[in-house]
Amino acid sequence: MGVVGADTHQTLSGISSGDMEMLETAVGLRERNREGSGLDGRTFALVKIAALIAVDAPPASYAWQIANALEEGVTPEDIIGVLRAVAPQVGGPRVIAAAPEIMLALGLALPGEED
């Protein structure tokens, strides 16, 4: 295994833990991608959530994208609408896997953890 520099280690750690600022700095293309899409910010955010569900994205991706979506005016009800809309194409297992990640990103307790 090669030697990894401190900056590289810090960047990878930040990305893997879902550090919003680190993600924006490291990935940094969100705004340029949105502008190039021709979509308004709210629609762009909903499409990104749909894509995360479709690819069975890791938890950190949901934390970051849900936060971005909420900033764009997306509501939790809109996110439920996305789950319903993509379910026929991606299948139940992907929707079921996404639901707890979305709950956590919204700051909700998972079933059984509501003590």
38 or 18, which is more confident? 38
pLDDT of residue 2: 63
pLDDT in tens, 61-96: 898 899 989 999 999 999 999 999 999 999 999 999
64 or 9, which is more confident? 64
Cβ neighbours of 56 (radius 10 Å)? 13
pLDDT of residue 27: 56
Query: Residue 11: helix, strand or coil by DSSP?
Result: helix
Distance CA 91, CA 40 (A): 27
Computed on alpha carbons and rounded to an integer, the radius of gyration of the chain in Å comes to 15
Domain 7-105 sits in CATH 1.20.1290: yes
DSSP 13-60: HHHHTT-HHHHHHHH--HHHHHHHHT--HHHHHHHHHHHHHHTT--HH
Q: Is the pLDDT of residue 11 over 60?
A: yes
pLDDT-derived band at 6 (thresholds 50, 70, 90) equals confident
**Is 83 within 8 Å of 99 (Cβ atoms)?**
yes
